[in-house]
A and B are shown apart, each in its own frame.
Chain A
């Protein structure tokens, strides 16, 4: 694992590589203090650059620190060591240029779908009427035109995710961060949501970091797939480019030969880590106590 810990430097993808990276993680270590006084090093020595217009998926075994890494990029979590650069500026505090899509329900249950989307514009000082109109527009774009007045508990899981998506995108953030957003959804809904996401993303191609444990989803959606090792002290073991043509339909693309080849390659390296994660199993927290 020590050898694999050194992440492979990646030049970015083609034309956009000359731009400043939207997110540049340099030598990120994240160590948690546990309640019992111990320490748990989640990730170690992570170098990762995400360029504008790039869709990067991060896959890895369960609890390898994928979400932790994303939280560092969002500024929700300060790394123990290393730097987070956002468009070549060091990040301090919350990342104001990013939108974040959470795995769990993050909508305010006391607000209707419309109010939930509208409230995202309030910090930007958009006047009430304009905010109302833009929120309706966005809800229409995610296919919820007739559900504007529903409260979150009256919506299905997929519909709530759509509202969250609208809530995030209405602010037009330059960086999109997504933490297993479709994890809790059923298989069909995931496919529909995946296509919706690709459709919305391809209109103005923001930098997108997408954390998932589903390799097929990662390949179908992204330009690059980054594989993380099993925790503790997880690092990046591999960085694959996905050269499938766009626009894609994520249901159809799974049937193509090129998809299978990429899948086989990435799975070869991911599999080792998944097995490692299972082997470490329950004792993981204790093993991680030494680092940093």
Chain B
């Protein structure tokens, strides 16, 4: 029930935002319609363009190109993840470690049963921010200089004053990042089932 309420509020915020955008760009309340559309495009045009791009195959080529730059992105986030994993290994509770040692575990078993699961927790907590960073880093890289990719598409649209194209590109990037992030969440939920979450009760 509470979740539904929250979700509908979120949708409401989005609708209000789109409505304001629409009113600003299609009526002359805030200025000349043509000028407004030149700077801000219109929500319907952006959505149509996004939909068109997502349904035509071309954009996937450009999204695919991203992976070559994700390597660049990962150099940006490598140290965030690395230090989190390092922290995870260091922050293993000394009691758990001593206990595992007293149970007779050797180094390999300690790694498997103690260090690795602990590091995994920390890795996933950083992976959420890191994945976003890596993708944005890649797009920025494309934007600055490349002949293909989403950043290139945005840059191209910008250079011909195609605001709709710019917004559509940004929207696609957002969708893409959300999709990847939810993939991380799914994997995380599978691997970290043991973590205490909110306790839930069932109605009878």
Interface residue ranges, A against B (CB under 8 Å): 74, 76, 94-96, 98-100, 102, 104-112, 119-120, 122-124, 151-154, 164, 167, 171
Contact = CB atoms under 8 A, between A and B. Distances in A.
A106 B117 contact: no
B103 A167 contact: yes
Grouping DSSP codes into helix (H, G, I), strand (E, B) and loop, the B interface class, with mixed when no group exceeds half, is helix
Nearest to A98: B102
Chain B: interface residue count, which band? 20 to 34
Given A102-B98, A122-B109, A151 B194 contact: yes
Interface of B: 93, 95-96, 98-106, 109, 113-114, 117-118, 121, 192-196
A74 B194 contact: no
Given A122-B109, A151-B194, A100 B102 contact: yes
Contacts of B95: 102, 104-106
Contact of B98 (A76, A96, A164, A167): A76
A194 B113 CA distance: 30
B194 A109 contact: yes
Contacts of B106: 123
Contacts of A96: 104
Contact of B194 (A76, A111, A164, A167): A111
B194 A99 contact: no
B105 A106 contact: no
A124 B100 CA distance: 13
Kindly list the 5 A-B residue pairs having the minimum CB-CB distance in the complex, ordered from nearest.
Answer: A106-B99, A123-B104, A153-B196, A110-B117, A100-B102
Contacts of B93: 104, 106
A106 B96 contact: yes
Given A102-B98, A151-B194, A108 B103 contact: no
